[in-house]
Structure 1
Amino acid sequence: MITIKDIAKLANVSDGTVDRVIHNRKGVSPKTAEKVKNILKENNFLLNPIASALATKKKYRIACLIPKSDKKNQFWKSPNLGILKARKEVTRYGLQIDIAHFDQYDSKSYLKKFKILQKNKPDAFIIAPVFSNETAFIAKELENNSIEYIFINIDNKKYKNIAFIGQDSQRAGFVAGKLMSLGLPKNSKCGVVQFRQSLIDHKAISNRISGFNNYLKEHRNDIKTKLIKISLNDKKNDLTKIKSFLNSAKTVSGIFVPSSRASYIASLLPEYVNTSNFSIIGYDTTEDNIFYLKNDKIQFIISQRSFNQGYEAVHIISDFLIQKKVPQKKTYSPIQIIIKENVDYDSRNKKTFINELSNQ
């Protein structure tokens, strides 16, 4: 591994000059700085992050604003675990990671938690931008104070976030459409579940539905879809809606759930439904989804390795702060098809970390 001393010899300058160029300090002529930068680039020079952090003596603070998870909202447990694992690793670089969890159904909670994090004067933010109007306010606040931020899980092109880590939701919906079409006979009917009254604040869900419909339109226009609005707060009424859909045609053969709640729909499925001829397709390897997958109530889960989203987000923003390493604009998560037979081999990093936590 090439060192600062090696770079100094190649550039015929002192070690101190190279150090000043790396950290953008004054005292180096433009010509010399350009020469050193070219040699650094040619040799793929990377700073030792620990040494760099110690040299700058700067204690960076990163704020993470993500939804809370519970039994009903299991998805965000994985990104949060990824953040916790990365936090254990980057604290040795002198970084402080603050995490605030908000209610993903309450925009006031989102803003309140942001303002709490703001009080600690963080150097950068990791944000799950669930609410559009409130995200516009947050982004403006950060930009006015020259604080960089990245988005996790939900992409939004309207803002100046330096990076996005998450799934290409449009393509993920397209994949779901193809999976559904493989199991459906000609002229079938398929349900598309919507849990929220409005999808304005949830672009990932609306993009998945769009991708799903686009695939069927392009490749299986014989399949008809019907939107099923589910409340989650009234199981009896939700069951009535599912039964009504199942009885609406003889050719009903599948339900697409464009979120992590496929398990809820599977729990409502009447016993008389023959799952060997019926497909439920959803997203994310939550505990409940895995349970119903293993019991043949869900046929396919599309995973996005959400644990890695949280983990990578912390490391990407840490590298940006310590090494001035500009991240690529979009880091896409996998669109991984999970079935009963391979689910136990998914997310080993997450499982290893959970075991580490339980042994502490």
Structure 2
Amino acid sequence: MITIKDIAKEAQVSEGTVDRVLHNRGGVSKRTEAKIKDILKKHNYSINPVASALASKNKYTIAVLIPEHSDSDIFWKSPYMGILKASNEFNSFGIQVTVYRFDQYDSSSYTSKFKSMLQSNPSMALIVPLFINETKFMITELEDSNIPYVFMNIDLEGFNNIAFTGQDAYTAGYIAAKLMHSGGQSDAKYLIVYSEHNLTVNNTVLRRIKGFKDYFESQELYDAPLSLRVDDFSHMDATADTVNTFLSDHPSIHGIFVPSSRINRIVDCIDPLVLKKYKLIGFDNTPPNIACLENETVSFLISQKPFDQGYESIQLMADYLIKKKIPHGKIYLPIDILTKENVRYNDRNALQFEVEHL
């Protein structure tokens, strides 16, 4: 007898995608949906009512609190797609995932979406704890309601989250410094560029900066990296003035490190002829960053596997709810060093899933 796995293999999609089509839950492109329905019809496939009844016995809800993405700041699209893929796959096991997306630049949006999430009384919560002070208040309410929770992407200490999924940010920053210093001149100076928003709310960025600085200290290099704060990467004219003035005043700088996904913004600020002087290293394989890597304005990108962060977070929570499997405290994902030559081979499963759902 043909199975959902067989249908998925023939259609070259995930089993979760087939399941969504079978149960008319949407979230699948019309082209992919038509392809799957043709295969289902060809094999005269019908839903097994016994299996459906068994799946409906236990229902669990996972609430996700994650920043929204936009065309100008696309990073959070990848973890969202990973969450969607896992949601598709575990829905047939009685796991329902609801996503609450907030404005990452607005703490009131964060707390408002949390309140909506809490009112849904979820079985578990997955949170990107972007605003630390607000998170302290929120977590108290979760714990008072006996709702277990997992942190994703940003690792905060002093909480009772059952797990963290994301990158070892300190080690990633240390690796970035090692790449930056490799083959460099003995008198070269290096610059860290960050935004005020990242530094005040994002613990991941802080840990990357510390790792970057600690590398140079461990090598007993007397010239520590320089630091430059910009108000907001989205304000291009102001950012360009700040960056170019600083570089002009410090001609010995040979490398620029951006500990966030906005390295492409720095590239856009600097004249292409001047840009050739610098080695640039940033984070995350967003489309704008990949373009910079491929045209060699950026030397390296460090991927924190955002799609996998979303997928594995839901997977470990589903295992916790269904199998009562206790996760390890910190689930660190691989630190991938991306170059012009290998970037197109990175996260191919994520790209395929995204194509299916556009």
Name the residue aligned to 2:256. Answer: 255
Q: 1:55 to 1:77 in 2, by over 3 A?
A: closer
Q: Which residue in the other structure is 2:228 paired with?
A: 228
- Whole-Å Cα distance in 1 between the matches of residues 204 and 198 of structure 2? 13
Match of 1:77 in 2: 77
Structure 2 match to 1:22: none
Identical aligned pairs, as a percentage?
41
Instruction: Give the C-alpha shift of residue 224 in structure 1.
Output: 4.0
Equivalent residues in 2 for 1:180-195 (5 A)? 180-195=180-195
For residue 190 of structure 1, give the secondary structure of its aligned residue in structure 2: strand
After TM superposition, give the deviation of residue 152 of structure 1 in Å: 0.4
Q: After TM superposition, list the pairs within 5 Å mapping 1:236-275 onto structure 2.
A: 236-275=237-276
Taking the TM superposition and a 5 Å limit, the aligned residue runs for 1:14-93 are: 54=54, 57-93=57-93
Cα separation, 2, equivalents of 1:245 and 1:190: 12
Q: Distance in 2 between matches of 1:349 and 1:302?
A: 18
Is the alpha carbon distance of 1:198 and 1:280 closer, same or farther for their aligned partners in structure 2, counting shifts above 3 Å?
Answer: closer
CA distance in 1, matches of 2:304, 2:252: 31
AA aligned opposite 1:286? T
The whole-number CA distance in structure 1 between the counterparts of 2:56 and 2:357 is 32
Once residues 233 and 152 of structure 1 are traced to their aligned partners in structure 2, the CA distance between those partners, rounded to angstroms, is 25
Cα distance in 2, alignment partners of residues 161 and 287 from structure 1: 32
What residue ranges of structure 2 are gaps of 5+ in the alignment? 1-49
Q: Secondary structure at the match of 2:272?
A: coil
Counterparts of residues 1-360 of structure 1 (less than 5 Å): 54=54, 57-196=57-196, 199-219=199-219, 221-230=221-230, 231-275=232-276, 277-358=277-358
Q: Cα RMSD (Å) of the superposition? A: 1.9
Deviation at 1:52, TM superposition (A): 12
* SS state at 1:247 partner: helix
Choose 1 or 2 for highest CA Rg: 1
Amino acid at match of 1:292: C
Equivalenced residue count is: 308
C-alpha spacing 1:91/1:268, structure 2 compared with 1 (3 Å) = same
Report if the CA contact (8 A) 1:63-1:98 is conserved: yes
**Secondary structure of the residue that 2:288 maps to in structure 1?**
helix
TM-superposed CA distance for 1:198, in Å, is 6.7
Conserved in 2, the CA contact under 8 Å of 1:186 and 1:223? no
- In 1, are the aligned partners of 2:176 and 2:281 still within 8 Å (CA)? yes
Alignment-mate amino acid for residue 236 of structure 2: K
Instruction: Check conservation: 1:197, 1:229, Cα contact below 8 A.
Output: no
Inter-CA distance 337–134: structure 2 relative to 1 (3 Å threshold): same
TM-score by length of 1: 0.82
